[in-house]
Amino acid sequence: MATVLRRLLFFIGAVALASVALVVSALPDVRAAVVSGVMTGYANGNLTGSDSSVELSNGHFANHPSSCTGDPAAAWPYGSLIVMYDPGWVPEHYDSAGHTAGFSYLYLHDIGDLNCSQGNYWADVYFGRWIRSGESCDCPGSPSPGVCYISPARACDDAIVWGSAVRQYNTP
């Protein structure tokens, strides 16, 4: 009886493993791809981006609108997550005290480059809304007048230092 029970358990285990293998092999390959695209930076601007349900904050980015049909990234839905690859993080001042953080993950909550001139996989990283007391809330490339908060840091400076360069990231 013990031998029959052992063989039955072995058979059930083998069937279960084979079933799992069949299910796993039928799943699509969902690994994120590493892509290269121009990344730029912006700051201040409107309280919300084109995803008006979310206030723009550090760790967000914009990409092309869906009308840029040649760019695969233009089809990503709001809330999509990209992971920085090279460089591995984006340095930003993230609070009113001027503390710095490195964001490795960025969430899509805005659109930009409506003329689709920046190329495929363009991403515009949002650097916040910090200004020094007495300074203008305007930042080149961002809508004016913007919404800003007083801080020892200046988000527009962070965006300018980030610049415009080809960088790599993992797609959603």
What pTM did the predictor assign?
0.80
| Average pLDDT value over all residues in the chain | 85
pLDDT in tens, 92-114: 998 889 899 999 999 999 999 99
Cα atoms in the Cβ-side hemisphere of radius 13 Å centred on 50: 16
Write down the pLDDT at residue 103. Answer: 94
CA distance 138 to 115: 22
For each of the domains in the chain, give its residue range(s) and CATH number, in order of start.
Answer: 34-170 (2.40.40.10)
